[in-house]
Amino acid sequence: MKASPADYGILYIDDEIKSLKYFEAIFGTLAPIYIASSPTEGHAIFREHHERIGVVVSDKHMPGESGLSLLARLREVDPKPLRFLVTAFSDLDTAVDALNDGLLYSYLTKPWDPSDFEHRLSKALGHFRLEREREKLLREKSGAFEQLLMADKAASIGILSAGLNHHLRNALTVMRTFHDLLPYQLAEEIEGELKDAAFWGEFHTEVGGQIDRMTSILSNLSEGTRMGDLHLSEGIDLAATLREAGRLVLEGRPDIRFRVISPPDLPPLTGDAPRLAQMVRFLFEESRSTLKCGGEIEVSLSPADGGKAIETVFIDSGLPLPEEDLARLFDPFYVRPDKPEELGTNLMACYLTVFHHGGAIRAERTADGRNAIVFTLPLVPPRDEVEEDDTAAAPRTLWRLADFSRRDARPATAALSS
């Protein structure tokens, strides 16, 4: 659990035990103090507690490793905490060089003055806290902007779906009728065997498949426009839903291993259970399609937004997508290079499901280069907030317009489905 700004502490590393005790006694009221008597111990403490440490102070001369080398290694673990070096006067040139290179926030010489040191540490902690608050505000603004982008995209998909359904359903009905009647008409007009029965059979099958594909795309887009009307139920166990979806989708694929990692006290969700189950099935199907030769799928769940939401990270070991395609993964007409015959309507449906539950979803690359889909769902969809928020009301109005336009296409839809 991340500490609040008031909890950020100071890690002091020195091989002199008396110096450690002296430091802890003097500055113990300024902030929580972590002490280490060797570079190895300091590195271990920092790796475990770096999210709660705001300032690191290290002596320069220690057995086994210099303070500068240790601080450089700590920066690789987490570059945010501010780094001080305690050094002898004769080593000032080295400290200044490290300061100019960005390794150090500051340095001081031995013997240090307690009053001056306290002032500098207090100033550094204040600077660190301000930076963390600034990052928090930027994340919040970024999240709000991301929600606006999601709302805009969702509304655009609704308008697109309504227009395509209105203009294409009737045309597809005519094509389907002609396709279905063609064999009977040929039998009536041509006596005996067809000159090239294989051609007519293959062509007829291909045309039928393309009509089915276009119909499926329109159906998926139409389904997306109806997602605004959620049927909410309480007590949804998201981890159990994911495990069940994995078993269903990966049945018959023993070469694909999957696991769902969830804390035992993860709270239940309120949401549209069938749509959430469909969404996670689509995510497993997406991973299955990329793992043609087998592999692993890892799904991890954790609390988010101060316990008000659940973040789910969906990772597979398939070939990584090109970096430029990650942002386009949820577009309805995104075409993957390895699957040009398929459009992204399933992942678009995932996008809309998350959006209408008041969450956010994105595709990214993990540190070790794997594809990851990360989605966050609030424990309870903010339905009342959506109704009252003018910004979010616009896309809801567009959904209603999409529903109105879609009603014009219902006779064609009914004829096509019959």
Q: Which domains are present in the chain?
A: 5-112 (3.40.50.2300), 231-380 (3.30.565.10)
Residue 400's pLDDT band (boundaries 50, 70, 90)?
Answer: very low
More confident residue, 180 or 92: 180
More confident residue, 237 or 409: 237
Which of 216, 196, 207, 298 has its CA nearest to residue 257?
A: 298
**Residue carrying structure tokens 């959006």:** 355
- Kindly report, residue by residue over 20-71, the tens digit of the pLDDT: 999 999 998 899 999 999 999 999 999 999 989 999 999 988 998 998 899 9
pLDDT above 70 as % of the chain: 76
CA 381/CA 123 separation, integer angstroms: 42
What average pLDDT does this structure show over 288-313?
A: 91
CB 221 within 8 A of CB 370: no
Which pLDDT value is given to residue 385?
41
Residue 197 has pLDDT above 50, yes or no: yes
Which pLDDT value is given to residue 416?
30
Residue 344 has pLDDT above 80, yes or no: no
Which pLDDT value is given to residue 267?
95
What average pLDDT does this structure show over 75-80?
A: 90
Pairing of strands 33-36, 9-13: parallel
- Kindly report, residue by residue over 259-273, the tens digit of the pLDDT: 999 999 999 999 999
Which pLDDT value is given to residue 178?
84
CB 343 within 8 A of CB 217: yes
Which pLDDT value is given to residue 44?
94
More confident residue, 224 or 62: 62
Q: Specify the long-range contacts of residues 159-163, CB closer than 8 Å, at least 24 apart.
A: 159/398, 159/401, 159/402, 160/221, 160/332, 161/218, 161/221, 161/222, 161/224, 161/225, 161/402, 161/406, 162/225, 162/401, 162/402, 162/403, 162/405, 162/406, 163/405
Which pLDDT value is given to residue 367?
76
The residues pairing with 53 across neighbouring beta strands, listed in sequence order, are 9
- What are the structure tokens assigned to 272, written together? 């549209």
Which pLDDT value is given to residue 172?
83
CA 313/CA 361 separation, integer angstroms: 10
Entry field: residues in the chain: 418
